[in-house]
């Protein structure tokens, strides 16, 4: 079942639903952003219907159970919620329990990312980086954190690393010399930045090899790149949880360092520079 089907499926089957199931459907259609993070019991309380009826509702519209419906709804809203709606979600929880849940979710995101780890795919991804004349790294909005982190460490390993920044210099100015001998690593997570995809289309026109890091196979980035790595992304409040993508990026950095010649010499040179200029000389 496609993740965009849920709300449409409810509307299509609405007239065939029982009276109690219509109450649930009405509430979901009006409050899908909140329902995505409610248990079956909580949803039942909001509409004054038993938890078992909520579970049966999920089955009546084609889901194996309520957890499957909830998961699909969470996927559906990734690109729809505003920051205000996302912030409102966090206000409906006990603070201490919710803060713990945030960290538990991060652990689960890493576990799920490991479960879908494809060794051959990441090997191909790393090979493209090493073979490239230049490596451009693109991550806009909140994804810029990931782009800067990857760029910071790849710069210790390879000579031509260029992180694209949103500054007074337009992003296209920074892509002026992009060629088919280069690689562009693109990071894109919900809510997907339109500017990112404008840059991707520009890179495609220049016949540049594009590598992607995104949240899943349904991401608009997936079909535009040569190789695409996915990291589990969950949205629990107005901030983006990039714990799993960051862990995946760590693996990429280490993978490149193990294959690229001259890394040890680069690091030795850096240590001499840091010592000479007192970079870490805090007294």
Low-confidence ranges of the chain (pLDDT < 50): 1-4
Q: What integer pLDDT is reported at residue 72 of this predicted model?
A: 83
Contact in structure between 162 and 135 (CB atoms under 8 Å): yes
Q: What integer pLDDT is reported at residue 87 of this predicted model?
A: 56
Domain spans, the chain = 1-77, 113-276
Task: Identify the CATH homologous superfamily for domain 113-276.
Answer: Glucose-6-phosphate isomerase like protein; domain 1 (3.40.50.10490)
pTM of the model as a whole: 0.70
State how far the alpha carbon of 248 is from the alpha carbons of 100, 240, 255, in Å: 23, 16, 11
Number of neighbouring beta carbons within 10 Å of residue 57: 27
Contacts (Cβ under 8 Å, ≥6 apart) of 105: 234, 236, 241
Q: What integer pLDDT is reported at residue 99 of this predicted model?
A: 80
Q: What integer pLDDT is reported at residue 116 of this predicted model?
A: 86
- Cα separation, 280 vs 132, whole angstroms: 32
Which CATH number is correct for 1-77, 3.40.50.1820, 2.40.50.140, 3.30.365.10, 1.10.10.10?
A: 1.10.10.10
Report phi then psi at 185, rounded to 5: -95, 120
């Amino acid at each position: 079942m496609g993740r965009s089907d849920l709300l449409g499926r409810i509307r299509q089957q609405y007239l065939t639903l029982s009276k109690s199931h219509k109450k649930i459907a009405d509430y979901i259609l009006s409050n899908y952003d909140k329902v995505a993070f409610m248990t079956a019991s909580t949803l039942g309380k909001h509409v004054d219907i038993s938890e078992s009826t909520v579970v049966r509702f999920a089955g009546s519209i084609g889901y194996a159970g309520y957890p499957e419906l909830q998961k699909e709804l969470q996927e559906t809203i990734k690109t729809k919620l505003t920051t205000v709606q996302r912030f409102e979600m966090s206000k409906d929880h006990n603070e201490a329990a919710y803060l713990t849940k945030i960290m538990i979710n991060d652990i689960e995101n890493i576990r799920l990312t490991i479960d879908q780890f494809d060794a051959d795919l990441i090997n191909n991804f790393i090979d493209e980086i090493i073979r490239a004349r230049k490596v451009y790294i693109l991550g806009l909005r909140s994804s810029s954190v990931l782009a800067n982190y990857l760029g910071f460490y790849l710069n210790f390993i390879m000579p031509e690393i260029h992180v694209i920044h949103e500054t007074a210099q337009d992003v296209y100015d920074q892509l002026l010399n992009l060629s088919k001998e280069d690689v562009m690593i693109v990071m894109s997570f919900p809510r997907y930045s339109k500017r990112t995809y404008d840059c991707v289309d520009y890179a495609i026109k220049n016949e540049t090899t594009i590598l992607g890091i995104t949240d899943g196979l349904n991401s608009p980035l997936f079909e535009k790149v040569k190789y695409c790595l996915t990291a589990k992304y969950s949205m629990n409040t107005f901030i983006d949880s990039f714990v799993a993508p960051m862990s995946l990026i760590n693996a990429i950095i280490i993978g490149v360092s193990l294959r690229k010649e001259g890394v040890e010499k680069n690091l030795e040179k850096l240590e001499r520079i840091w010592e000479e200029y007192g970079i870490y000389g805090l007294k």
